Chains A and B, each alone.
With several copies, the nearest count.
Chain A
Amino acid sequence: WDEPIVFELTTPGERGVLVTPVESRVLGAVGDVVAALPEHLRRATPPALPEMGQMRVLKHYLRLSQENLGADLNVDIGQGTCTMKYAPKVNERLVNTPTLTALHPLQDPADVQGVLEIVWRTERMLAEISGMDEVSLHTQGGSAAIWSNIAMIRAYHEANGEAEQRREVITTIFSHPSNAAAAKAAGYDVVTLYPDADGYPDLDALKAALSPRTAAIMVTNPEDTGIYNPAIREWVDAAHAVGALASYDQANANGILGITRARDAGFDVCHFNLHKTFGTPHGCGGPGAGANAVSSALAPFLPGPRVMRDGERFTVEQAGSRSIGSVAPFFGVVPNIVRAYAWMMALGAEGLRAVAETAVLNNNYLMKRILEIPGASAPYAVGRRRIEQVRYSWQDLFEETGISSEEIGVRAADFGMHYWTSHHPYIVPQPFTLEPTESYSMAELDEYAAVLAEIAREAREEPEVVRTAPHRQTVHHTHHDDLDDPERWAITWRAYRRKYFAGRPAGAPAAADTAEAAA
């Protein structure tokens, strides 16, 4: 499809949906309320939204959807760290029921026992999975959960009178950047540690960094390299030794479910991403959902309101005085909580362990296939296994051909595959990160590896094909330098029209849409 921007599809007078009319009795009682508005409050010019019939609106967005590559459609193992797993369709059927969609959070608790029970049960299951005592499901995503981690840590130290003293948070470079960013947003100074020569987190570096000024360590494990820190308990103990708390970013928990637990390593607080590990769909980038699990010492600081069980009934309790309060409206991202509950109930203990083991098996199998490709490598811990993902490098290929990892990614899209390099900074040169999860069959892993092998071959034999990609995408090579220049960037259609067309209204509806058919 060559689908225009929606504003170009406007036709004066068309309607997409009609609004229920103001009843005659209401009109009789209150008159013309719009005309009665004070003039300075009454909008003079209607917002310049498009005017379109309903079918054309539908068609527009359906076509855009076909120009998008959802996890359901491809072998989505190239978005490393993202844990792109199967989001079961039965869960979509379950959550899209009026007894969930049409619930208001302030209804009589007697009318919402079902959803309260699901929240409560989900918390208890996550407590078991993490080994922690209490769980909150309020946060709306992984980074938001990291924020809640640090917010609770801050409140804890304040409650202990150490707020002024403890101004530093320590993290590692292969932990998710939001740990650093959230700590900073909470007012902390951030110390970032680099790994040792083998790519393992450096315990000595930690010990050197720890001090009475340390509020917490905030680490991911396994890190985004797929390497598990074997000294993790020593890390936690070292933090505790200086009075700091230990916060565990469990975004990468998919390979260790039922294998090892946060509390067993001594952590005080951890979080999970329900949209990664627990099978809720990623929604183009949210809504996700986070779960914060804490030891009993930190439980008073959890966000509120909490769902409590009282015999057979479930009740809602407002946040207590030491709670960090509300972190999101009401109870968090409820549809994802229900999905995660259904996902866990479909699997059980044996199933969760099979998830972890299969994710790890898939990853190590894929690693073998990738490392067979000339020019690909997996820096650090050479020859050792990884947990659930691997940060690879094309450095050798780059040195041979000049083709960068980004260029390979653009070319991979021509084969219907996602591909991601890594978070910044690129500690691993020419990085790429693959996380196969448990959701893909051996044949699909082979297929993905074959695509990368083919692109590596192209890079050596016909590098122009790679360099000039994309060749088979909806759009062609895009000039991203437009986007960093305040004079040229266009974040909305109105800004675009203003900057490029001096605000003149767009002309006639877009020209004939003689696009190729959906491939």
Chain B
Amino acid sequence: MTRPFVHPYIPNTAPESRAAMLAAVGATSVDEFYVDVPADLRLDRPLDLPEPLTAELDLERHVGGLLSRNVSTRTRLSFLGAGTYHHHVPAVVDEIINRSEFLTAYAGEPYEDHGRFQALFEYQSLMAELLAMDVVNVPTYDGYQATATGLAMAGRMTGRRRVLVASDVLPAKASKVHDFVRGHLDLEIVPTIGGTADAAAVASLLADDVAAVWVETPSATGAVEARLRELADAAHAVGAVLVVGTDPIGYGVLVPPAEHGADIVCGDIQSLGLHQWFGGAHGGFIAVHDDPRFIMEMPSRLFGLATTDVPGEYGFGDVAYDRTSFAHREEGKEWVGTAAALWGIAAGVYLTLMGPEGMRELGEVLLARTEYARRALAAIPGVELGDDALHLREFTVDLGGTGRTAGDVVRDLRLVGIEPGVPLDERTLLVCVTEMTSQRDIDRLAESLAAAVGASPAASDLAGADVPAASDPAPTLEEQSA
């Protein structure tokens, strides 16, 4: 076509504008602007890319068509967790973070971006209440990074290299943390007992060359650490820092780690109002006490409340900006860059909506359904629980007694539309339940799993009731996706 290329995203492709601007700057063509790019580096052909779909409807049809090939967890009954969780996202959360004002803002100053500063200050503050700590950062990338940074902070503070890993850690998280800190820290795995820390073994390994004890609760298998205070005291006794990786979802009912003596608490906020997004929507928090020794080691931005010329008015700004790589390049702490601010706003809206009572109710539902699911699955002949720790949301079952592997079971249950969990090894399946997996969903998993391992269903014995049909009004997933 001889028609000029005009694109809706690029206003000055309009031929008249382009000509006027070239004339204004005294150039005959845009090539003049590239004089510093040597000729032999200039690409002498168009990029070899697919034909564009410049009409919006064609683009929608193409990309929407690709996405429509996916089958989501609205259709599949999913018990998958392992770092990305299927929690309910209230509609108000999406409404707020999809506002153009928040979605497309970036790095403005406290005056014109007052709303962003306040919203993120509020996020910090809401998380702080949940965690019972006084300082929370503007989100970093994800829980992996938060934990890696938390450990690195401990290393910088103590000048030591050893880190005792007291809990079971997700392999991918362990990989990230290891590669991130290995220039400065050495990780030593202390095997767990019954799903939680072997406090005695940790104590025996502690010495004044230990920078940190790293505990995960809930752990990679969903086990809640019961001996945190003991671990904290032991670490503190040798001048080490207790770093706790956690998911904040349970702290409506559980005592937060700070109250057991944790120094640095870190983790992921995906559970707090973010969709699963194929694992692509994570944000990391790092919380510490209001102690400059810790705060000055934090690389992230920290938004703080400040007074203004108007009495009673709240202003905002960066706390201790001089810590950051923006201020001091390699002399700053790690670096700060575009991370996950919008997800922080989402988590703030989520916590505001939930309130204390919502977080309590949610914690109760998660504990109750986790326990219900554990019993339902353990009731299947040949299926054993991985351990008898307290579990929140996730737990493992050992399929060794069924004669079938975890992979077999996953394959079979996928045929009936169920993702039963994540195989950790041949015989171990990691199962996740949330408020999105109802009792009837769990019963369905138990029945299907029993069928897959050749056992007779036993789940209906659970409640001591004869009638398998429940009376709760929520529809089953089948109804939903019919």
Contacts and interface: CB of A to CB of B under 8 A. Distances in A.
Interface in A158-184: 177-178, 180-184
Interface string A481-519: 011101001111111101000000000000000000110
Nearest to B124: A492
A234 B176 CA distance: 35
A91 B122 CA distance: 27
Nearest to B217: A41
Contact of B6 (A15, A44, A282): A15
Contact of B25 (A57, A121, A285, A364): A364
Given A68-B102, A69-B113, A180 B277 contact: no
B83 A329 contact: yes
A70 B104 contact: yes
A20 B275 contact: no
B336 A143 contact: yes
A151 interface: yes
A281 B103 contact: yes
Contacts of A14: 6, 11, 14, 17, 355
Interface in A347-361: 347-355, 357-358, 360-361
A115 B70 contact: yes
A169 to B, nearest CB: 9
B388 interface: no
Interface residues of A, number: 229
Contacts of B50: 121, 125, 345, 348
B74 A347 contact: no
A29 B439 CA distance: 11
Given A15-B6, A345-B59, A180 B52 contact: no
Given A49-B352, A324-B179, A256 B37 contact: yes
Nearest to A228: B36
A42 B255 contact: yes
Interface in A48-101: 48-58, 60-73, 76, 79, 82, 84-94, 96-101
A104 B86 contact: yes
Contacts of A361: 12, 18, 21-22, 25, 30, 33
B310 interface: yes
A461 B285 CA distance: 48
B11 A56 contact: yes
A235 B471 CA distance: 45
A183 B330 CA distance: 8
B25 A365 contact: yes
Interface in B4-23: 5-18, 20-22
Contacts of B66: 114-115, 117-118
A13 B15 contact: yes
Interface residues of B, number: 227
A311 interface: no
A107 B78 contact: yes
B11 to A, nearest CB: 3
A90 B90 contact: yes
B141 A48 contact: no
A328 interface: yes
Nearest to B320: A484
B450 to A, nearest CB: 17
Contact of B254 (A41, A232, A410): A41
A185 B38 CA distance: 34
A43 B56 contact: no
Nearest to A357: B30
B368 interface: yes
Interface stretch (B201-209, B233-241, B338-346, B396-404): B338-346
A43 B256 contact: yes
A18 B340 contact: no
Given A325-B178, A355-B10, A482-B305, 14 more contacts: A15-B8, A16-B354, A20-B58, A23-B438, A29-B464, A84-B106, A100-B67, A105-B278, A329-B279, A345-B52, A361-B33, A424-B329, A484-B320, A491-B319
